[in-house]
Structure 1
């Protein structure tokens, strides 16, 4: 299938699909005309990429772990034991970021409360 068809089937823009190719996440065949030719299996690959991006991973991380991700009945499962440790580290970084954001929000709440008290 051509890039437009893959975009339609996955809901991902052609621009994003080209970016995934630039990052090495997709490797379509090239026709003699230069057009990209995607396999039906690429629909599932794009789905995995989108899920991993949604999990907070960047494309370099996805490139590294994509071969170790298995799609079982609609659930992504790590197939390489060492992958889980990296995912735990990523989750811990997200937890730290959430803690920092909550602290920032509490500071803003304090400032907002002080402003409201002062305007009374």
Structure 2
């Protein structure tokens, strides 16, 4: 198949395919007329790359999976190098989850503090001579 058909079937652009070719992820085969030609195996490579990128893998992180497919394996993650990339990505995700959990705790603490302060202001406002509500939440002017 030609580059346009491959791009369409893979849900990408010809520009992206040329970029992958320049990075050595997609083979650069040409027919007698000089047109790029691709086969179903190339479509499998592209689908593997796209799936991994959807999961947050960088383009270079997809290389071991592509090489595993090119080596004739049914799946791109059956090779030791691919498993190593999975392990690294899981460690990276665990770190990010930890960081996000810490940020979530800080935001939760700020919310709790703000709600306590708002409740105290609302209580003051209900006392004669208390502060006037200055916003829709009942803050001071």
Give the TM-score normalised by the residue count of structure 1: 0.75
Quickly say closer, same or farther: Cα 1:33–1:108, change in 2 above 3 A. farther
Q: Which structure dedicates a bigger proportion of its chain to strand?
A: 1
Task: Verify: 1:84 aligned to 2:83, yes or no.
Answer: yes
Deviation at 1:96, TM superposition (A): 1.3
The 8 Å contact of residues 76 and 82 in structure 2, kept in 1 or not, is answered as no
Larger deviation, residues 94-103 vs 53-62: 53-62
Task: Verify: 1:28 aligned to 2:33, yes or no.
Answer: no
* Partner residue, 2:11: 11
Larger deviation, residues 60-69 vs 2-11: 60-69
- Partner SS, residue 24 of structure 2: coil
The runs of 5 or more residues in structure 2 that have no matched partner are: 120-141
Deviation at 1:31, TM superposition (A): 4.6
The 8 Å contact of residues 23 and 59 in structure 1, kept in 2 or not, is answered as no
CA offsets, 1:16-41, max 9 Å, x none?
22232232211232356654222232
* Partner residue, 2:107: 108
- Give the paired residue count: 116
Q: Aligned equivalents of 1:58 and 1:29: distance in 2?
A: 25
* Partner residue, 2:96: 97
* Partner residue, 1:117: 116
The runs of 5 or more residues in structure 1 that have no matched partner are: none
Task: Verify: 1:61 aligned to 2:49, yes or no.
Answer: no
Q: Aligned equivalents of 1:35 and 1:53: distance in 2?
A: 27
The 8 Å contact of residues 3 and 38 in structure 1, kept in 2 or not, is answered as yes
Deviation at 1:44, TM superposition (A): 0.8
Query: Rg bigger for which structure?
Result: 2
